Amino acid sequence: MSFLGACCKHHPGILNHKKLDFPRVNLQQRWIFAVMCFFALFNAYAMRACLSIAITKMAKPVAEDFGNDESCLADDFALGVANATNATIDGGVGGQDYDWDEYTQGLILSSFFWGYIFTHLPGGLIADRYGGKHTLGIGILLTALFTIATPLTVYYGDWLGLIILRVLMGLGEGTTYPAINVLLAKWAPPEERSRIASFVYAGALIGTIYATTVSGVILQYAVNGWPIVFYVMGATSIAWYVIWCFVCYNSPTEHPFISDIEVNFIKERMGDSVSEKNLRVPWRHILGSGPLWAVIVGLVGYNWSILTIITDLPKYMSSVMKFSVQYNGYLTSLIYLCMWLGGMVSSWIADYLIGRKIMGTTQVRKYGSVLALTGSSCLIIAASYAGCDKTLVVTMFVLAMTIMGSAFPTVMVNALDLSPNYAGTLMALTNGLSALTGIAGPYIIGVLAPHQTLGEWRFVFWILFGVSVVSNVIFLAFGDGEVQYWNDPDFKVKNAEAKSNDRRTEEKVRV
C-alpha cells in the first residue's frame, strides 16, 4: 500500500478531497495526465529507437559492392567525421564493432517485436479490468532496466544475447498502448479526444527524435562509444516512472486532488459511453465487427510505413545516402519533428471539424487516412527516385512524414471511437496485430537489401507503397467513427427486451 493509501486508511477524512484545506493550483488534471502519458510513449520509443542509430556503430560497415547500381558519395566533411568517430570507439564494455551482416542486423532490429506482440492482449485485458496506471508504469520500468543492461549483454552474449534482451524489452513495452488507451477512454472527453490522444501519441515521435538526436551526438563525441546511449535512455525512463507513480491515477473519480468541476465536466461529456463496472468482453461481437477490422488493416499500413522509417531510415541515410552519424541523427530527427507538427495541426483541425459539426467523425477519420497512408507513401517513393540528390531526398521524406502525422487523429484514435469501454482490449487487438509488421519489416529489408544499394531500397519502398495503399482502400470502405452497439455493457439485455417487445407487438397485431 502506498504512503497516501495508508494515510487515507487511518484518516478517512482525507479520502474526501473536498475537505482538503490547503490551496489548490488551478490545473486541469486531464492535461497533466496527457503530459505524463506523452512522456510514457516518449521514453518507450526512445528506448526502442536508440538501437537503430547505435547499430550503425555497433556493427562493422557492410563491404560496398554496388556493381551497376547507382551509388552515392560521401562528402569530405562526412568522411572526416565518420573517421574521427570510428577512431574514438575502441574500447570499453561493448565499445567495439561486431561482425554482424545485414541479415543478422535485421533479426536484431525485428526481435523487439517478437516479444512486443505477446503482451498486448494480456496488457489490454488487465488494464480494462484493473486500470492502466500500473499496467503502463511497470512495463516502462522493466524496459528501462533491460535497456541499461544492453551493453553488458552484448559484451557477453553478442548478437544472440542482444536478440534475447530485445525480446524481453518488447514484452515490457507490449502493455504500453493498451494501457494508454484505457486511460484515454477515462480521461479524454469526445470533443477533446483528437487533441489529447494525438498529443499523447506524438510522444512516440518526440521520443524517437530525442533518441536519434542524442544518440547521434553521443556517438560523435563520447569516448566510450555506443554503450552510453543505452544508459541515458534507461535512466530517463526510470525517472519518469517515479514521477508517474505519484501524479497519475486510473480515472478522474480516483484522483485525490482533481476539482469537482473537472470531474463533473468529464462525466457529462462522456455520458453513457464509459462504464465504471468491470465488464465481460463481448468477444464474438468484437471479432465480428467490420469497422474494427478496418482499423486493424489501416494500422497495418501505417505501422508498416512508420516502423520501416523508424527502424531502418538511419541505415538508409548512412549506407545509401552516406550521411555521417551526426548528420544522420539530426536529419532523422528533423523528419520525425515534422511528423509531430503534422500530427498536432491535423488533430486541432479534426477536433474543430467535429466540434463545429462541419464533418462527422467518420468522415474526418477517413479523409485524414488518405493523407496519412496514400499521400505519404507516394512521397516516400518519390524520395527513392530522387537518387543521390541529398537535399531533394530529405525534402521528400520531410513532406511524407509531415502528412503521415495525420494518422494520429485518424487511424490511431479510431479504436477509441468504436468502444471507450473496451479501449484496452481493442488497442491490444489493433496495435498488437498490426505490430506484426515490426517483425516482418526489418527481416524483409535485411533479405531484400543485403548490399544496401539504392536499387534494393527502392524495391523496399515500393512494397511500403503497396501495403499502405491497399490498407487505406479497405479502411475507406469499411471504417466507422461512431460508438458501436456492443460498447454498451447491457446491449444483450436490451436486445432481448427489444425482441420480446417485437414479439408482443406482432401478437397484438394478429389478435
Task: Render pLDDT for 293-344 as a digit per residue (tens, 0 to 9).
Answer: 999 999 999 988 887 887 778 778 877 888 876 677 678 778 888 888 998 8
Average pLDDT taken over every residue of the chain = 81
Q: Residues 269-277: what's their mean pLDDT?
A: 60
Give me the pLDDT at residue 95, please.
53
Q: How confident is the model at residue 14 (pLDDT cuts 50, 70, 90)?
A: very low
- What are φ and ψ of residue 134, in 5° steps? -80, -25
What is the C-alpha radius of gyration for the chain, rounded to an integer number of angstroms? 24
Q: Is the pTM of this model over 0.75?
A: no
Supply the pLDDT for residue 75: 52
pLDDT surpasses 90 at 386: no
Question: Which grid coordinates are listed for 241?
Answer: 516512472
pLDDT in the model for residue 381: 93
Judged against a pLDDT cut of 70, whether residue 376 lies above it is answered with yes
- Lookup: cell for 63: 563491404
pLDDT, average across residues 390-413: 90
pLDDT score at 268: 80
pLDDT tier for residue 16 given thresholds of 50, 70 and 90? very low
CATH architecture label of 28-60+102-270 = Up-down Bundle (1.20)
Q: What mean pLDDT is predicted for residues 251-262?
A: 84
pLDDT at 278: 57
Three-state SS at 59: strand
φ, ψ of residue 59 to 5 degrees: the values are -95, 145
Per-residue model confidence as pLDDT tens digits over 173-216: 999 998 998 898 888 887 788 788 888 988 988 898 888 888 88
Q: Which of 28-42, 419-433, 434-448 has the highest mean pLDDT?
A: 28-42
pLDDT digits (tens, 9 = 90+) for 443-458: 777 788 777 788 888 8
For residues 253 and 379, give the distance between their C-alpha atoms in angstroms, rounded to a whole number.
46
C-alpha cell at 46: 526512445
Q: What angle do CA 340, 344, 348 make, to 5 degrees?
A: 170
pLDDT score for 510? 58
Helix, strand, coil percent content, the chain, rounded in steps of 5: 80, 0, 20
- Residues contacting residue 105 through CB under 8 Å, at least 6 positions apart: 55, 59, 315, 442, 446
Residue bearing the bigger pLDDT, 276 or 418:
418
In this predicted structure, the answer to whether residue 90 has a pLDDT above a threshold of 80 is no
User: What is the SS3 assignment for 286-352?
Assistant: HHCCHHHHHHHHHHHHHHHHHHHHHHHHHHHHHHHCCCCHHHHHHHHHHHHHHHHHHHHHHHHHHHH
Residue 367 has pLDDT above 60, yes or no: yes
The reported pLDDT for the residue numbered 96 is 57
Q: HSE-up of 348 (CA within 13 Å, CB side)? A: 5
Kindly indicate whether the domain formed by 289-504 is annotated with CATH number 1.20.1250.20.
Answer: yes
Distance between alpha carbon 371 and the CA centroid of its chain, in Å? 19
Residue with C-alpha cell 520531410?
Answer: 398
Q: Is the predicted pLDDT of residue 465 greater than 70, yes or no?
A: yes
Residue extents of the structural domains in the chain:
28-60+102-270, 289-504
Topology alike, domains 28-60+102-270 and 289-504: yes
Mean pLDDT of 390-402: 91
The more confident residue out of 51 and 221 is: 51
Q: Which three cell numbers stand for residue 7?
A: 494515510
Q: Quote the cell numbers at residue 271.
A: 455520458
What pLDDT score does 258 carry?
A: 84
Question: Cα separations (Å) of 180 from 36, 251, 304?
Answer: 10, 12, 21
Cell of 345: 495541426
pLDDT value at position 317?
83
Tell me what pLDDT residue 107 has: 86
> Residue 98 in contact with residue 60, Cβ under 8 Å?
yes
